């Protein structure tokens, strides 16, 4: 008999897993997602990627503001799920919920646990200049991302990966491996491996203030920040009291005074090497290539970029 599954997820990262479950033999009895959020200045209400997918596929959808309520507890209990799959849901699963599923709550996490527990593992991995990352499938416990590991898959990273690219890769990797894990659970072949909690590191939520580029850092570290904060919230600098976001850049082996332009192509010296900006966005304007940008916004050699 097909397993009864509740799915909990919110962003685009979660959709590949939900889609793979829908295409499988399993019975998706409900989907939980974060409630719609008002866009900037409240002009539009944005539904999550998971909500949009659930509605398109006529799945039972729940978007409670508060998960830890008697109403939601009883709803989950009455569904009597075999497994609850959680992928970037964005809410802590209440302790009393964790025993409502026959095989527990299973989480697909975008890091090689115990490294980068928490809200922003992909961004932190890129910003930390990690050379490897991957996905971990674990059983949820009360403490954040601390449960025993059921499966891990590793991939190598390069300096050109931004968060959008890496998210897409890990999303597909997680979806593919989760189906294998569920099959092992069904066949009672699954093994749990306790995490080494002494090696845990934490990927705290990204703040907009972190996006400010510090030109006294090495070009490699700054590029990690640019890539890690692309597509959101973006790495930025100020020039003549206006803010500019940098979306793409490359390392150039040139020297100069950190924070000053060294050519007319928006190459800025760093503590070690320099960065040539390839894609930029002036505050209130659209993204554009540096080649187009400098035609109307010349920033000459020797300018100080804050």
- What per-residue confidence (pLDDT) applies to 132? 98
- What per-residue confidence (pLDDT) applies to 190? 93
> How many degrees, rounded to 5, is the angle at CA 140 between CA 134 and CA 146?
65
Tell whether 137 and 227 lie within a shared domain: no
Q: Measured between alpha carbons, how far is 277 from 299 in angstroms, rounded to an integer? A: 12
Among 144, 164, 199, the domain-final residue is 199
User: ω into residue 114 within 30 of 0, thus cis?
Assistant: yes
Residue 135 located in a structural domain: yes
Rounded to 10 degrees, what is the CA torsion of 5, 73, 189, 59? 10
Residue 306 located in a structural domain: no
Tokens read off for 272: 């070690």
Residue 303 located in a structural domain: no
* Domain containing residue 33: 4-199
Among 151, 172, 199, the domain-final residue is 199
- What per-residue confidence (pLDDT) applies to 2? 53
Which residues pair with residue 105 across a beta bridge?
84
Indicate the SS3 state at residue 26.
coil
Burial 199-237 (b: 16+ CB within 10 A, else e): ebeebeebeeeebebebebbbebbbbbbbbbbeeebbbb
10-residue mean pLDDT series, the chain (306 residues): 87 98 94 87 82 98 97 98 97 96 97 97 98 98 96 95 98 97 93 97 94 97 98 96 96 96 96 98 96 90 93
- What per-residue confidence (pLDDT) applies to 233? 95
Residue 195 DSSP one-character state? -
Tell whether 194 and 220 lie within a shared domain: no
Q: What is the CATH number of the domain that holds 115?
A: 3.40.50.170
Residue 301 located in a structural domain: no
Tell whether 80 and 180 lie within a shared domain: yes
pTM: predicted TM-score of the whole model, two decimal places: 0.94
Among 153, 175, 199, the domain-final residue is 199
Tell whether 214 and 175 lie within a shared domain: no
Tell me how many domains the chain contains. Answer: 2
- What per-residue confidence (pLDDT) applies to 45? 82
């Amino acid at each position: 008999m097909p397993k009864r599954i509740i799915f909990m997820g919110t962003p685009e990262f979660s959709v590949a897993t939900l889609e793979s479950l829908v295409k499988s033999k399993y019975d998706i009895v409900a989907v939980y997602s974060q409630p719609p959020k008002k866009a900037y200045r409240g002009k539009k209400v944005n539904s999550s990627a998971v909500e949009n997918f659930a509605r398109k596929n006529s799945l039972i959808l729940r978007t409670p503001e508060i998960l830890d309520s008697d109403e939601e507890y009883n709803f989950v209990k009455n569904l009597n799920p075999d497994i609850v799959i959680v992928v970037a849901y964005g809410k802590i699963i209440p302790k009393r919920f964790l025993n409502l599923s026959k095989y527990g709550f299973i989480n697909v996490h975008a890091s090689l646990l115990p490294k980068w527990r928490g809200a922003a593992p992909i961004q932190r991995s890129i910003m930390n200049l990690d050379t490897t990352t991957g996905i971990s499938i674990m059983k949820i416990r009360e403490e954040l991302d601390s449960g025993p590991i059921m499966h891990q898959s590793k991939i190598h990273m390069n300096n050109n990966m931004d968060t959008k690219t890496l998210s897409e890769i890990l999303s597909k990797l997680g979806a593919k491996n989760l189906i294998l894990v569920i099959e092992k659970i069904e066949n009672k072949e699954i093994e749990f491996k306790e995490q080494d909690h002494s090696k845990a590191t934490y990927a705290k939520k990204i703040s907009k203030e972190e996006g400010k580029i510090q030109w006294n850092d090495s070009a490699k570290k700054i590029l990690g920040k640019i890539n890690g904060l692309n597509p959101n919230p973006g790495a930025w600098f100020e020039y003549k009291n206006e803010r500019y976001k940098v979306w793409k850049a490359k390392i150039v082996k040139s020297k100069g005074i950190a924070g000053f332009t060294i050519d007319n192509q928006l190459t800025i010296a760093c503590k070690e090497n320099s960065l040539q900006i390839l894609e930029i966005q002036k505050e209130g304007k659209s993204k554009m290539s540096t080649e187009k940008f400098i035609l109307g916004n010349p920033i000459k050699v020797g300018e100080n970029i804050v």
